[in-house]
Amino acid sequence: MSIVTDAIKEIMNLSINSFVTNNSAIASKVEPLEQVIDDLQKKLKSMHILRLQNGECTIELGFIFTDLLANYERVSDHCSNIAVYTIQL
């Protein structure tokens, strides 16, 4: 989780910085990071399913975990949209 959290912080910093400075070079770094976050989310979900199957996690905690991952995914998508907008300008 700490890796994907750090990636979210980085993508937010890149997106905001590129938008504020109108820097398309910085904005171009956002999309590859967004793909990494997508891949991390899929990997973390798969690992969570294995933990559920092995009885190492509860459904209740799983709801919180998957909700957090979905929100991270949403944030990275928004950052990608900001970067695309910045590049188009």
Question: Rounded distance, CA 62 to CA 52, Å?
Answer: 8
Q: What is the pLDDT of residues 4-16, one digit of tens each?
A: 999 999 999 999 9
Residue 48's closest CA among 70, 25, 26? 70
Q: What is the pLDDT of residues 10-51, one digit of tens each?
A: 999 999 999 999 999 999 999 999 999 999 999 999 999 999
Question: Rounded distance, CA 71 to CA 38, Å?
Answer: 12
- Residue 1's pLDDT is what? 87
Those residues whose C-beta lies under 8 Å from the C-beta of residue 78, and which sit 6 or more positions away, are 15
